[in-house]
Structure 1
């Protein structure tokens, strides 16, 4: 049984996925979760709707590194819709990236959503807050 399968037994209903759009980003963001700096994430509402398995409040996610290996398990504690232009300092800080500022968050996420092909200033995002449950 693989480590992911073992974790799915321990955390029934858990999904397995990686942050970001590159192996390097997956490694970096998973590391921020493990040290407690990253407690939130967001994605475009359009991507969220098209996922086979989306996060649910109270649900578990097995976070993978850039090589597809599990590094930790998180539990979703909050989901909400927010427009890109309405994201505030609080969410930017909870995302745990860069200097934790809203300016940094906007620049990096504009690039991310542009690469995804979904960026618009008023686009809707699904903001997820989570807690670290297990570092594996």
Structure 2
């Protein structure tokens, strides 16, 4: 994705939602693969996915900050094209085993139960985790809730 594409997308988003900040926010895809990014973006666009989670150790390994309430983000599809704008509404940092059933449901994956969330995310972090410590049940998880503010699908 080029800066020009992102800037054009942000201009369109701000026209539609004038309360969005002037500065173009961070752009990122949910998931680690092209297919995950597209599947999870679809859940966001359908209004099913209103939450996501990151391993704190992965954020630290990547030099990324913990999201903040009120922060806008551009969500990319699997081909790194901007498709949606979300705004963070809540952030909680808890050990893996203390993620709530409510948060698991907000992520919209599988059958939306806590058991499914544990299974899906343990597998994800074992395969894609970037932190030096790998997966553990006491690893810290950054649970982010968000609201969809703008969507452009398909990209024009």
Summarize the alignment of residues 1-136 of structure 1 with structure 2, pairs less than 5 Å apart: 2-8=4-10, 10=14, 11=21, 12-54=23-65, 55-115=67-127, 116=129, 118-136=134-152
Q: In the TM superposition, what whole-angstrom CA distance separates every residue of 1:37-93 from its partner, at most 9, and x where no partner exists?
A: 000001011122344453322111100000001111000111110110111211110
Runs of 4+ in structure 1 off by over 6 angstroms are none
SS, match of residue 2 in structure 1: helix
SS, match of residue 31 in structure 1: helix
Residue segments in structure 1 that go unaligned for 5+ positions in a row = none
SS, match of residue 30 in structure 1: helix
Q: Calculate the TM-score normalised by the size of structure 1.
A: 0.91
Q: Calculate the TM-score normalised by the size of structure 2.
A: 0.80
Q: Per residue, is there more strand in 1 or in 2?
A: 1
Residue segments in structure 2 that go unaligned for 5+ positions in a row = 15-20
Q: In the TM superposition, what whole-angstrom CA distance separates every residue of 1:86-109 from its partner, at most 9, and x where no partner exists?
A: 112111100001111111111110
Deviation, 1:3, is 2.9
Larger radius of gyration between Structure 1 and Structure 2: 2
Structure 1, 67-76 or 44-53: larger mean CA deviation: 44-53
SS, match of residue 85 in structure 2: strand
